[in-house]
């Protein structure tokens, strides 16, 4: 049998890997990878430009979701939203950064599992509310935060939103991923109920809750031990 697979387009994958290894600007890497992949597959330059233009036009919603909430959030921030978020959380006796993030993880995963994936998000929840609250709770317990502590808390807040979203959404039957898997398998002649795919997502979803939940709760102990306070 003849091997009809064309290996040249793998050059594009190589560009991506090398680009990130040498820490070049990701936008440049991705653009170059796209152009090189197109050329390696012997597409004319016109077609590559057309693909770029079409791709951009059809993916505008990705940027739209990011940009639209910003005017509201910016106005509120200017008037002290983040300061108030920190203050509000420190009014609770038992609040801690770890417990707050664990609660958010649970809420995010449950709401995503119910198909409510738009209840969180980085522009409208993490930056204005979740991260300042985590900082507020930690600041109340351990005094003013060091720069490193603040940076780590913010990164963990963003990570918690991602983990909750990713591992919640696949256990909701009507979510795109489940339908995508179902239609792909059907096209390959394998009949599977979407409900079963969604159900078999549960074990991993629970593992995600457990693993990331323990990690954010452990954060409180790391903060108490001054992990990010020692001289570098």
Residues 6 or more apart whose CB falls under 8 angstroms from that of 132 comprise 81, 82, 83, 85, 86
Q: Which is nearer to another protein, 30 or 141 (CB)?
A: 30
Is residue 222 at the binding interface for another protein, with CB under 8 A as the rule? Answer: no
Is residue 227 at the binding interface for another protein, with CB under 8 A as the rule? Answer: no
Which 138-197 residues touch another protein, going by CB under 8 A? 151-152, 154-159, 161-163, 166-167, 170, 176-177, 180-181, 184-185, 188, 190, 192-193, 196-197
Least distance from another protein to the Cβ atom of residue 101, Å = 11
Q: Which is nearer to another protein, 96 or 215 (CB)?
A: 215
Identify whether the C-beta of residue 9 lies closer than 8 Å to the C-beta of residue 37: yes
**Whole-number Å distance between alpha carbons of 35 and 13:** 12
Is residue 44 at the binding interface for another protein, with CB under 8 A as the rule? Answer: no
**Whole-number Å distance between alpha carbons of 45 and 48:** 5
Q: Which is nearer to another protein, 54 or 225 (CB)?
A: 54
Burial of 216 (0-12, 13-18, 19+ CB in 10 A): buried
Among 18, 44, 54, 221, binds another protein (CB under 8 A): 54
């Amino acid at each position: 049998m003849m091997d009809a697979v064309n290996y040249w387009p793998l050059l594009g994958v190589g560009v991506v890997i090398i680009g990130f290894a040498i820490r070049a600007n990701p936008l440049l890497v991705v653009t170059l990878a796209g152009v090189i992949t197109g050329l390696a597959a012997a597409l004319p330059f016109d077609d590559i430009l057309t693909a770029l233009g079409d791709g951009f036009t059809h993916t505008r919603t990705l940027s739209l979701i990011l940009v639209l909430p910003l005017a509201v959030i910016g106005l509120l921030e200017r008037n002290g939203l983040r300061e108030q978020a920190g203050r509000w959380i420190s009014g609770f006796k038992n609040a801690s950064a770890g417990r707050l993030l664990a609660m958010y993880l649970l809420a995010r995963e449950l709401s995503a599992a119910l198909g409510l994936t738009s209840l969180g998000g980085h522009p409208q929840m993490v930056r204005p509310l979740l991260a300042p609250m985590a900082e507020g709770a930690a600041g109340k317990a351990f005094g003013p935060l060091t720069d490193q502590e603040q940076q780590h808390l913010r990164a963990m807040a963003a990570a918690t939103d991602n983990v909750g979203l990713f591992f919640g959404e696949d256990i909701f039957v009507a979510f795109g991923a489940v339908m995508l898997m179902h239609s792909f398998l059907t096209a390959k002649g394998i009949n599977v109920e979407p409900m079963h795919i969604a159900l078999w997502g549960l074990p991993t979803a629970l593992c995600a809750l457990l693993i990331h939940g323990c990690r954010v709760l452990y954060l409180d102990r790391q903060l108490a031990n001054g992990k990010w306070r020692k001289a570098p």
